[in-house]
Amino acid sequence: MARYKIRQSAKKNVDELIAHKGVYTTITEIMSQPYINPDRSLEWVPKNIKIADKGSVLYYVGCIPYFNYEFDKIDVIALSTLQIISKIEKEPIVLFKEEICCGHDVYWGQGKLEIFIELAKKNIKMFEKAGISTIVTACAECYRTFKVDYPKLFEDFSQKFEVKHIIEYVYEMWKKGKIEFIGKNESEEGISFTYHDPCRLSRFLPENNAITDNTREIFKEFKKLGYSFNEMEHNKSNSLCCGVNSWMNCNEKSKALRYKRMLEAKSAGSIMLTSCPKCKIHLSCLQDDYEDISSIEISDFSEFLVNHIKVIDSNKNSEVEK
């Protein structure tokens, strides 16, 4: 819990190091105030998906709606995740209009612990009010925060709520035999793809986590569908970072790191998957500057999977097909 102090003890003004001039971290800070009740647009939710304010399964979107301010096509992560969950769940999914940030960025980036705690309290109150029991998220950072950092502050958090990343969720459903993967790749030669492990889903989780291996297991299954999975040179807990976690330090060094990562991806396949919205933003940002890496298609795990999931249902009537 004291890691954030390193930045402070380096006697640097943390505010100077924030990328995008601190727009997103300031938003987080504003959201921690008790008098702020966000009113997020749910325009991106398709009409045929039922959402509710109360229920047991929550899709925690994270800050994606705010990212629309500068980045295009980020909504698609939220959309495809919601589609996946709603295909599997029978009940309407809970989506909060007044959802706030999980606090990851102020905790890791600037070390503003008080704000982090405020946010955590506000979040927990909201979850309790809506009667949530399972939280599903598609954001690696939200996942790690809920899984590891909140229980450190509030001991009963992990008893009250079950936190699942969409990868974990899909994996479990698949193992339970509730879903199968469909959608064969029709072209002659197989499509090769690779996976960028976000820090928060690999080395930043407790050692006994199985997410990296689960991900690989799902990808192995895709071999049957004509998609071959290749590892990059650095992978799993050893993977290279996208360089800008918590919106900190977007500079030439982190760009160099990203470029290196993109070269690795290029030699591994034509599609690069990741499961953190920020990794996607940062890696694709570099593609505008460098032509040699612009051919790689970067997409989110859920974006890739959404058209490949079919629900196996014993009583056929609620079968959803896509």
Residues that bind another protein (CB under 8 A): 20-23, 26-27, 29-31, 33-41, 65-66, 68-69, 98
Q: State the nearest-atom distance from the C-beta of 232 to another protein, in Å.
A: 34
Q: State the nearest-atom distance from the C-beta of 66 to another protein, in Å.
A: 6
Residues 6 or more apart whose CB falls under 8 angstroms from that of 62 comprise 101, 102, 137, 138, 139, 141, 142, 277
Q: State the nearest-atom distance from the C-beta of 33 to another protein, in Å.
A: 7
C-alpha closest to that of 78 among 68, 92, 91: 68
Q: Whose Cβ is closer to another protein: residue 65's or residue 109's?
A: 65
Q: How far apart are CA 152 and CA 251, in angstroms?
A: 32
Q: Whose Cβ is closer to another protein: residue 21's or residue 223's?
A: 21
C-alpha closest to that of 206 among 278, 158, 267: 158
Q: State the nearest-atom distance from the C-beta of 42 to another protein, in Å.
A: 10
Q: State the nearest-atom distance from the C-beta of 41 to another protein, in Å.
A: 6
Q: State the nearest-atom distance from the C-beta of 39 to another protein, in Å.
A: 4
Q: How far apart are CA 195 and CA 222, in angstroms?
A: 13
Q: State the nearest-atom distance from the C-beta of 240 to another protein, in Å.
A: 29
Q: Whose Cβ is closer to another protein: residue 104's or residue 112's?
A: 112
Q: State the nearest-atom distance from the C-beta of 203 to another protein, in Å.
A: 31
Q: Which residues pair with 311 in a beta bridge?
A: 179
